Amino acid sequence: MDLEKIKELSDFLKETDITEFFYEEDGLKLKIRRGPCRPAVSEAPLHTEAADTPRVSLSETVDEDKYVAVKSPIVGTFYRCPSPGAPNFVELGDKVKSGQVLCIVEAMKLMNEIESECDGEIVKIFHESETSVEYGEPLFQINPL
C-alpha cells in the first residue's frame, strides 16, 4: 500500500462516522484511529479536563528564572492522576515537598512517577492529562521555598 492510497483512505474515513479502521495485507498492518488517543494499559478513561481548558499558571508575567522546571525524563503520555476517577496528584498553587509525586509519564506501558525536585509551590502546569510529552519538555514550574 503506497502513501497515496493511505491518504485516500484517510480522506474517506474523515467523511464517515468510522472512528477506527484496521487493514492488513501481505504483512503490512495499518491502523487508523480518529478522536482522542487512549492508553493501551487502561480500559477506563482517565479523568480529563475540558478540551478548551488553557494551560494554567498563577501569573503570566513572572520572572521564570527563579522557578525550578520539572522536565520529562522520557518521551511518553502525561497523566495528572494515578488512576481513572482519582484526584490529581497536584493542583496549581499546591505546596509540594522534595520527592513528592507530581504526575505519571507512561512510556512503553510502564508508569513512571515524576517527583518534585525541591520543596515549593506549583506555579505552572504545562500539560493536560493524557497528552504526549517529549524528553526534556517542562511539565511543571515550582517556586522553590
The residue ranges of every structural domain in the chain are 3-33, 56-144
Closest to 103 measured CA to CA, from 135, 123, 134, 125: 125
For residue 3, what is the enclosing H or E element? helix 3-14
Predicted pLDDT of residue 120? 94
Task: Please give the grid coordinates belonging to residue 7.
Answer: 491518504
**Local mean pLDDT, 10-residue blocks, the chain (145 residues):** 72 71 70 54 45 43 73 94 91 93 92 92 94 94 92
b/e burial code for range 93-112 (CB count within 10 A of at least 16 → b): eeebeeeeebbbbbeeeeee
Q: What is the pLDDT of residue 144?
A: 92
Architecture of domain 56-144: Beta Barrel (2.40)
What pLDDT, on a 0 to 100 scale, did the predictor assign at position 50? 46
Helix or strand run (H / E) with residue 9 = helix 3-14
